[in-house]
Amino acid sequence: MPDLQNRTEPSPAPEVVKLQQQLMAVINDPANEKILRIPNVVRTTPALSEYHVPGTAPTPVIAIIVDYEDQIDAVQRLVPPTLGGFPTEVQADHIDINGSTVFKNRKK
């Protein structure tokens, strides 16, 4: 049985670290705080696009997280297509599957 207690995660590549830092700088920019005042928006976070062509690398985006899927369309109309040069994408924190709520983008 593998020792899961002492395993080490590989360090992300320098370009990934730089990209994450750029995304976080845009998210933390006070000029972009207005996004958090949009009704139903829970938070913004760096993410990979949920909509990409299979076989290609997903696009890094600034994810604007709402509580439920049915709120995506209303919020999408109020969100700019880009922030700081990065595309934005509205994503749901919870999805309902057969009457059960599943947490999709829950922070660990």
What's the pLDDT at 98?
Answer: 62
DSSP letter for 50, please.
S
Taking only the tens place, the pLDDT of each residue in 55-93 is 888 889 999 999 888 999 999 999 999 999 999 999 988
Which residue in the block uniquely carries the two structure tokens 């996004």? 35
What whole-number distance in Å separates Cα of residue 94 and Cα of residue 104? Answer: 5
What's the pLDDT at 27?
Answer: 94
How much is the pTM?
0.74
Cα angle for residues 61, 17, 24 (degrees, 5° grid): 50
Position 41 pLDDT exceeds 70 = yes
For residue 108, name the pLDDT band (cuts at 50, 70, 90).
Answer: very low
Position 48 pLDDT exceeds 90 = no
What are the DSSP E strand ranges found in the chain?
A: 41-48, 60-68, 82-83, 86-97, 100-103
Where is pLDDT greater, at 5 or 26?
26
Sorted by where each begins, the domain ranges of the chain are 14-50+59-103
Gyration radius from the chain CA atoms: 16
The torsion region of residue 98 among left (phi > 0), alpha (psi -120 to 50) and beta comes to left
Instruction: Tell me what the pLDDT averaged over the chain comes to.
Output: 84
What whole-number distance in Å separates Cα of residue 108 and Cα of residue 97? Answer: 21
For residue 17, name the pLDDT band (cuts at 50, 70, 90).
Answer: confident
What whole-number distance in Å separates Cα of residue 56 and Cα of residue 32? Answer: 29
What whole-number distance in Å separates Cα of residue 84 and Cα of residue 67? Answer: 24
